[in-house]
């Protein structure tokens, strides 16, 4: 137990960290190009934020949050998602008073108490972006476009963009009633969870996995048919924007999203390649979330993208990550005097920007060369009594298997030159 990370958590070990650095670097660069500024919010918030933001009827709030009282008696929750904290910070710092829109991006851990399986962890990580301050579907299109470009850039082929409109406080209640009217005659045939949802959140019944209910729901009224004029126009607008950018999508009227704050636009990038956890990126518009948590009327739209699922998909697509940087020069030593000379040299070379290594396990010469090869070192230099006396060393090119004779005093310069640094 002491030697196992908690259930549903993972160490990211040195062997795989370059994969993370790679996607993080790409994401950051893309944020710069698209004008998104990074925001870092705490990893925990007042529980109330998520109750209000995510919504009290959602699974996330009802059974998945890591919630505890701190020593000051405050109810604290480890963030289960990235949008609510971003909205809180946006409001707290009165960012709405600045020139709009406000375009934010972040990378954050998220915590949800769930049973782990493929592509699902208790601590996982998300990239996210948010655009505040405009109701225009241009923003929605930009956000979706960002996600698509990023997934493209990561070499992911087998994903599909699905979009829907979930309406607004104007039209959604009417639709809910229509849906309940439709379901009511079949109420007794519904599963237990669906019965509960009938009252709390009937739209969630639409994405049921039960075959019987799927069949039943086939003829149910769809939100898209009940949209108010404003929402309908917005949805058409969005589709026109996506068409104009040549972004392919399918309208999936059953996308509901498990977070209550969404209005109008809802979208997901789904994949067939990573088991049952098929959504790699999900997002949408939230026109009343800022108000909901006590800010002014400011609309927003954004997405969250699961980094672990992204990595899974990249593997699935055979993505070739760039190799980690090799060691520039390895210093093999023999004898106590040479050891110290090696130590001094290694330090000097490191200070001038080279990646230098030496053996610190007292290996024999053969072992040192083997280790140098293992480290993928470009060059290896051998230093013993003779070299120190003569002031000349053999610098071995490990790939070409050739040796260069170099004055010891010129070693750093010679290595730098040969590496073209």
Partner RNA sequence: GUGGGUGUCGUCAAGUGGUUAAGACACAGGAUUGUGAUUCCUGCAUGCGUGGGUUCAAAUCCCACCAUCCACCCCA
Contacts of RNA in 240-259 (CB under 7 A) = 256-259
Q: Please report which helix (H) or strand (E) contains residue 324, including its range.
A: none
Can residue 81 be called a binding residue for RNA (CB under 7 A)?
yes
Q: Which residue has the tokens 């959602």?
A: 58
Residues within window 186-205 making contact with RNA, judged by CB under 7 A: 193, 204
Nearest residue (CB) to RNA, 305 versus 415: 305
Determine the interface stretch with RNA among 88-96, 174-182, 237-245, 359-367 (rule: CB under 7 A).
359-367
Distance of alpha carbon 113 from alpha carbon 167, whole angstroms = 30
Residues within window 369-388 making contact with RNA, judged by CB under 7 A: 369-374, 380, 382-387
Nearest residue (CB) to RNA, 192 versus 219: 192
Q: By rule CB under 7 A, what string of x and - marks binding of each residue 7-26 to RNA?
A: xx------------------
Can residue 351 be called a binding residue for RNA (CB under 7 A)?
no
Distance of alpha carbon 270 from alpha carbon 135, whole angstroms = 26
Sole binder of RNA in the list 116, 221, 253, 273 (CB under 7 A): 116
Residues within window 323-342 making contact with RNA, judged by CB under 7 A: 334
Can residue 401 be called a binding residue for RNA (CB under 7 A)?
yes
Distance of alpha carbon 393 from alpha carbon 407, whole angstroms = 6
Distance of alpha carbon 284 from alpha carbon 128, whole angstroms = 12
Residue pair 106/86 in contact (Cβ under 8 Å)? The answer is: yes
Six token digits for residue 328: 């520039």
Rounded to the nearest whole angstrom, what is the least distance from the CB of residue 170 to RNA in the complex? 22
Can residue 115 be called a binding residue for RNA (CB under 7 A)?
yes
Nearest residue (CB) to RNA, 296 versus 367: 367
Can residue 268 be called a binding residue for RNA (CB under 7 A)?
yes
Sole binder of RNA in the list 399, 409, 417, 421 (CB under 7 A): 399
Nearest residue (CB) to RNA, 5 versus 97: 5
Can residue 175 be called a binding residue for RNA (CB under 7 A)?
no
Nearest residue (CB) to RNA, 91 versus 194: 194
Cβ neighbors of 384 (< 8 A, separation 6 or more) are: 333, 334, 335, 338
Sole binder of RNA in the list 19, 79, 88, 112 (CB under 7 A): 112
Six token digits for residue 327: 């060691």
Q: Strand locations in 252-353, DSSP E?
A: 263-271, 279-285, 300-306, 329-333
Number of H helices and number of E strands within the chain? 15, 16
Rounded to the nearest whole angstrom, what is the least distance from the CB of residue 226 to RNA in the complex? 20
Determine the interface stretch with RNA among 95-103, 107-115, 229-237, 321-329 (rule: CB under 7 A).
107-115
> How many CB atoms within 10 Å of residue 165?
28
Side by side, the strands of the sheet bearing 402-407 are: 356-358, 329-333, 379-383, 392-397, 402-407
Nearest residue (CB) to RNA, 100 versus 376: 376
Can residue 71 be called a binding residue for RNA (CB under 7 A)?
no
Sole binder of RNA in the list 71, 276, 323, 325 (CB under 7 A): 276
Q: By rule CB under 7 A, what string of x and - marks binding of each residue 117-156 to RNA?
A: xxxxx--x-x------------------------------
CA distances from 135 to 101, 121, 130, 409 (A): 10, 34, 13, 67
Can residue 282 be called a binding residue for RNA (CB under 7 A)?
yes
Sole binder of RNA in the list 24, 207, 237, 316 (CB under 7 A): 207
Residue pair 204/259 in contact (Cβ under 8 Å)? The answer is: no
Supply the DSSP string of 275-304, one letter for each residue.
Answer: TT--EEEEEEE-TTHHHHTT--S--EEEEE
């Amino acid at each position: 137990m002491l030697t196992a990370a908690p259930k549903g958590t993972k160490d990211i070990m040195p062997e795989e960290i370059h994969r993370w650095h790679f996607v993080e670097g790409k994401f950051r660069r893309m944020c710069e190009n698209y004008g998104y500024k990074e925001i870092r919010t705490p990893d925990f918030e007042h529980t109330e934020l998520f109750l209000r933001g995510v919504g009290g009827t959602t699974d996330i709030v009802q059974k998945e949050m890591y919630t505890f009282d701190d020593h000051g008696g405050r109810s604290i929750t480890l963030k289960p998602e990235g949008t609510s904290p971003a909205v809180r910070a946006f409001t707290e710092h009165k960012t709405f008073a600045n020139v709009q829109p406000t375009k934010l991006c972040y990378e954050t851990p998220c915590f949800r108490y769930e049973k782990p399986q493929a592509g699902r962890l208790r601590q996982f990580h998300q990239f996210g972006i948010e655009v505040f301050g405009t109701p225009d579907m241009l923003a929605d299109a930009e956000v979706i476009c960002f996600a698509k470009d990023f997934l493209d850039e990561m070499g992911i082929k087998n994903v599909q963009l699905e979009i829907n409109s979930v309406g607004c406080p104007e039209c959604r209640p009417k639709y809910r009633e229509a849906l309940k009217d439709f379901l009511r005659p079949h109420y007794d045939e519904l599963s237990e969870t669906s019965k509960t949802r009938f009252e709390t959140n009937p739209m969630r019944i639409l994405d049921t996995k039960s075959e019987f209910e799927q069949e039943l729901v086939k003829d149910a009224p769809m939100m898209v048919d009940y949209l108010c004029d404003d929402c309908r126009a917005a949805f058409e607008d969005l589709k026109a924007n996506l068409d104009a950018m040549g972004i392919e999508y399918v309208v999936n009227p059953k996308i509901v999203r498990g977070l209550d704050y969404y209005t109008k636009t809802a979208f997901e990038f789904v994949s067939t390649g990573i088991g049952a956890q098929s959504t790699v990126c999900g997002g949408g518009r939230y026109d009343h979330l800022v108000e909901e948590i006590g800010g002014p009327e400011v609309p927003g739209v954004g997405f969250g993208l699961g980094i672990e699922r992204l990595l899974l998909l990249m593997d699935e697509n055979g993505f070739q990550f760039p190799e980690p940087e090799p060691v520039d020069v390895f210093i093999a030593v023999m004898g106590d005097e040479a050891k110290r000379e090696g130590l001094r040299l290694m330090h000097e070379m490191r200070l001038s920007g080279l990646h230098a290594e030496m053996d610190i396990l007292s290996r024999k010469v053969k072992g040192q060369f083997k280790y140098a090869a293992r480290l993928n070192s470009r060059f290896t230099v051998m230093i013993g009594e003779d070299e120190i006396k003569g002031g000349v060393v053999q610098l071995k090119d490990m790939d070409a298997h050739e040796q260069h004779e170099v004055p010891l005093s010129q070693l750093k310069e010679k290595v730098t030159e040969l590496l073209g640094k």
